[in-house]
Amino acid sequence: MARKFVGMNSQPNVRHNAAASRYEIEIDGKRAVVDYVLEQGAQVFTHTLVPPELRGRGLAELLVRAALVDAQKADRRVVPACSYVAKFIERNTEFAGLVAPSD
């Protein structure tokens, strides 16, 4: 089932800002982000932030999905250090195979 992005006429554009190590969506001068660091060949997702003014629109889901699809395309393992990313992967099992084994 396709998710409807509340309050938007079309799906917002997710931008990969590699220089800042994050994926971002900007709407009305406000920025929603999912941050990551690259460690030992894995993409460690550290933080997801959606400003209060943008919450309830499905932006965190859109950001995390785009980031995980990119990791999948790059054949990169992920570490869901951010609780939102961990829950997202738990609910969307098609990404479970990306999770790096814990030591």
Sequence ranges of the domains in the chain:
15-96
Residue 5 in this model has a pLDDT that exceeds 70: no
Phi-psi group of 31: left, alpha or beta (phi > 0 → left; psi -120 to 50 → alpha; rest → beta): beta
**Where does 15-96 sit in CATH, by number?**
3.40.630.30
pTM above threshold 0.85: yes
Name the DSSP class of 33: E
Distance of alpha carbon 55 from the chain centroid: 15
Residue range 48-72, pLDDT digits in tens: 999 999 999 999 999 999 999 999 9
pLDDT digits (tens, 9 = 90+) for 83-92: 999 999 999 9
CB 74 within 8 A of CB 85: no
